[in-house]
Amino acid sequence: MPGNRRLRILICALVFNFQFSIFNSHAQEADSSRLRLTVENHHFFRNNEYAGEHVDGYTLPGFYLRPQLQWQVESRVRLSAGMHWLHYWGAHRYPSNRSYADRPLPVHSDTTTAVHLLPWMQARVDFNPTVSLILGSLESRDGHGLPQPLFEPELRYAADPEAGAQLLVQRPWMDLDLWVNWHEFIFAQSDHQERLYIGLSSRLKWEIKNSSLPTPHSSLTFYLPLYAIATHYGGESLTVYLRNHHQANYAGGLGADWTQGDLGAGLEVLALGYIQRKGSIHPYDNGWGLYPTLSFRYREAGLRLSYWHGEGFIPILGPPLFSNASANTESLTIDRNRLLTLRLDYRWRRFKACEVTFEGELLHYFPWTGDRTGYGKLERDGRTLYGFGIHVKLNPSITLLR
C-alpha cells in the first residue's frame, strides 16, 4: 500500500509538472493582459406603417445600453461581464413572459417588471486568428449575416440578446458562423417547454485578385451562401406535457460583391425553404421562396432592391412581411406572397465611437388571393407601405489596465 501511494504521488507530480509546463509557456502572454471597459449604446427610432392584412404597423422608440468589462486573460482568451438594458420610451412596465424575446413587440403577461435588465457574460477562446469559440452571450450585431427573410433586422437592437454557444471561422475562402441560442430553459416543475434555436451562416468565397482586374484598387468576390435557422420545442416537465415540434428555414444560392474605390455593388440570388415537423403550429408543413437582391453603395450611402416570391413559407425569425400566413388576421393564408422592397440608408461617420444612420424603406405588395375560415376566397389589390428610422450608436472603449 505505501508503495502504491508513493507511485500515485509520483504520477500526480509528473502530470502537474507537465500541465504547469504547458501553461507556463504562455505566462508572458498572461502578464501582458489588460482590462477594458466598453459601452455599446444604440438609440433607435423606427416607424413601420404596415397597415394591412399581412401585419400591423408599429413604432419602436428606445435604446439599449450594454456596458461590460473585458478582461484579456491571455492573448487569445477573453472574459466579458456586464449587463444588457433595453428600454422603450413611454413604457413603464415590461412583460417578464418567456416569449418576450420572440419579437421586439411585448406580449401580454400578468407578471411585469419595471425595468428590463439582463446579464451579459461571455467567455471567448481564439484557438488561432481564424477560429473562435464563444460560450455565454453571443456575437450577433450584424444579425449573423443572415438575409432578411430569415432574420428580422430589428431583433439586433430591439430584442433580448442571444446566449448559448457559438463557433466563428474566418478564412480567406470561407466565413462560418454556427451557433445555438438557448431561448427557454426548464426546471423540473416548469409549466412550459424548453426552446432553442440553431443557426448557420456560411459563405464559400472565391476572390479575384486586383492584378487580374482591368482597373486598380478593385476587387471581385464570388460566393456560395448557405443559411439555416432551426428551432426545437421539447424537453421533459413534471407539470405539463406538450408535444415536441420542430421548424426550420434554410437558404442557398449564388452571390457576388464588387468594389472599386468608394463604389460597391452586390448581387445575391437565394432559394429558400420552410419545413415543419412533429407539430402543427403553422398552417403549412413546408414551403419555399425566391429572393434576388441587388445592392449598391457609394461611400456612406447605400441602396438595396429586392424581390420576394413565397408560397407556403413561414419565417421563424424573419419579418412577418415574408410570411404566407397573416400575422394580424386570424386563419388568413396567402396563396402567393409577392413583395418588392426598396431600401435607402445613409451612415454618417465622423467620430471614432459614434455612428448615425438614416434609413427609409418602400414596400409594395402585388395583388394576391388567399383563404380565410368562414370567408371563402379573398382577392386583394396591390398595396404600398413604408417605414423609416433613425439610429445613433455610441461605442466608447476605455483601457483601465494594461
What's phi and psi for 370, nearest 5 deg? -160, 180
DSSP 89-148: TT---EE--TTGGGSSS----S-EESSEEEEEEEEEEEEETTEEEEEEEPP-TTGGG--T
- 1/92 same-domain check: no
Region label for 52, one of left (φ > 0), alpha (ψ between -120 and 50) or beta (otherwise): left
- 16/159 same-domain check: no
- Express each pLDDT in 176-220 by its tens digit: 999 999 987 877 766 667 888 999 999 999 988 665 555 666 889
Give the per-residue pLDDT at 279. Answer: 64
- 112/125 same-domain check: yes
- Express each pLDDT in 149-163 by its tens digit: 999 999 888 888 899
| Domain hosting residue 21, numbered range | 1-31
Find the Cα–Cα–Cα–Cα dihedral 117, 56, 392, 72, rounded to 10°.
Answer: 40
- 5/67 same-domain check: no
- 127/239 same-domain check: yes
Count the residues in the chain.
402
Give the Cα separation of 94 and 81 in Å (integer).
Answer: 24
* CB 304 within 8 Å of CB 265: no
Q: Any idea what the Cα angle at residue 229 is, between residues 227 and 235, rounded to 5°?
A: 155
- 18/102 same-domain check: no
Q: How many structural domains comprise the chain? A: 2
* CB 77 within 8 Å of CB 128: no
Give the per-residue pLDDT at 283. Answer: 87
Give the per-residue pLDDT at 235. Answer: 66
- CB burial class (10 A; 0-12, 13-18, 19+) of residue 367? exposed
CATH number for the domain including 45?
A: 2.40.160
Give the per-residue pLDDT at 160. Answer: 86
Q: What is the DSSP letter of 317?
A: S
Instruction: Give whole-number Cα distances, 248 to 151, 183, 251, in Å.
Output: 12, 16, 10
* CB 306 within 8 Å of CB 294: yes
- 128/229 same-domain check: yes
**170 is written with which cell numbers?**
474566418
Query: Which among 122, 158, 124, 163 has a CA at the least distance from the CA of 45?
Result: 158
- 50/4 same-domain check: no
Give pLDDT tens digits along the chain (402 positions).
Answer: 444 454 444 444 433 443 333 334 333 343 345 999 999 999 999 999 998 888 899 999 999 999 999 999 998 999 999 999 999 998 888 876 544 444 444 444 445 778 888 999 999 999 999 999 999 999 988 899 999 999 999 988 888 889 999 999 999 999 999 999 998 787 776 666 788 899 999 999 998 866 555 566 688 999 999 999 999 877 665 444 556 778 999 999 999 999 988 999 999 999 999 999 866 678 889 999 999 999 999 999 999 999 999 999 999 999 999 999 998 888 899 999 999 999 999 999 988 899 999 999 999 999 999 999 888 899 999 999 999 999 999 999 999 988
Give the Cα separation of 298 and 261 in Å (integer).
Answer: 9
Q: What is the pTM of this model?
A: 0.85
- E strand map for 235-285: 245-260, 263-277
- Express each pLDDT in 328-370 by its tens digit: 888 899 999 999 999 999 999 988 899 999 999 999 999 999 9
- 2/132 same-domain check: no
- 336/379 same-domain check: yes
Give the per-residue pLDDT at 114. Answer: 81
- 178/263 same-domain check: yes
Q: Any idea what the Cα angle at residue 276 is, between residues 271 and 282, rounded to 5°?
A: 105
- 45/2 same-domain check: no
Give the per-residue pLDDT at 211. Answer: 59
Query: Which among 227, 179, 38 has a CA at the least distance from the CA of 120?
Result: 38
Give the Cα separation of 322 and 326 in Å (integer).
Answer: 10
Give the per-residue pLDDT at 93. Answer: 81
